[in-house]
Amino acid sequence: MLVLRILIVVVLLLIFVQDLRSRSVYWVLFPVLMLLFIATGLLQHRLWVDLLQPAMINGLFIVVQLLLVSAYFSLKSGKWINICAELLGWGDVLLLLSVAFYLSVLNFVFFYVSSLILTLLLWMTWQGVAGRKNKQLPLAGFQAMIFSVFLTGDWYGLHLNLTDDSWLLNLLHR
């Protein structure tokens, strides 16, 4: 299990470094990450249905989100806009689809929203410190870094179990 955790963090850090340097990531890293997440789930004695059901719901959430954002930009511009072709990189989508195989549904939504907010704050800080403005945001890279922090915090400190929604439901219930 330790080897899988190390490999997951290494792949996430590779995504971060590649996206930060060149605003592109080798696509092969995403299926590898997905397989590492599936292997982790199976080693935790989770059933296939317990792995695939949240992954499918999380994937559907991503698809609906992309369609809604595409519809918004299409209405705004008066023509069909495919945000994956013009505004969002495929690496950004593939990272979220990979993470969808690890997180439970509420944890996925929590990660998605919080990582977008943190990414925006990191990017604004980065732009302010660097002193130059770059329009291309390394979303997959920052989200990979944030997710590696979430994972290592869960594995070695907080013990929240990001594959189960109970900690988040308990927090919301208070």
* Confidence class for position 1, pLDDT limits 50, 70, 90: confident
Phi, psi at residue 12, to the nearest 5°? -60, -40
CB of 91 closer than 8 Å to CB of 30: yes
- Name the DSSP letter for residue 164: -
Tokens of 34: 């997905």
For Cα atoms 174, 157, 57, give the angle at the middle one, nearest 5 degrees.
60
The SS3 of residue 131 is coil
pLDDT for 136 equals 79
Phi, psi at residue 71, to the nearest 5°? -65, -40
CB of 98 closer than 8 Å to CB of 30: yes
pLDDT digit string, tens, across residues 100-110: 999 999 999 99
For Cα atoms 35, 56, 52, give the angle at the middle one, nearest 5 degrees.
50
* Confidence class for position 98, pLDDT limits 50, 70, 90: very high
Measured distance CA(20)–CA(163) in Å, rounded: 28
pLDDT for 109 equals 95
pLDDT for 170 equals 82
**pTM, full prediction:** 0.89
Measured distance CA(42)–CA(115) in Å, rounded: 26
- Residue spans per domain, the chain: 2-173
Closest CA to 107 of 16, 168, 29, 17: 168
pLDDT for 6 equals 94
Contact residues for 82 (Cβ-Cβ < 8 A; gap 6+): 70
pLDDT digit string, tens, across residues 114-167: 999 999 998 888 888 877 677 778 899 999 999 999 999 888 877 777 888 887
pLDDT for 131 equals 73
Asked if residue 169 has pLDDT above 80, the reply is yes
pLDDT digit string, tens, across residues 18-67: 998 888 889 999 999 999 999 999 998 888 888 899 999 999 999 999 99
pLDDT for 77 equals 87
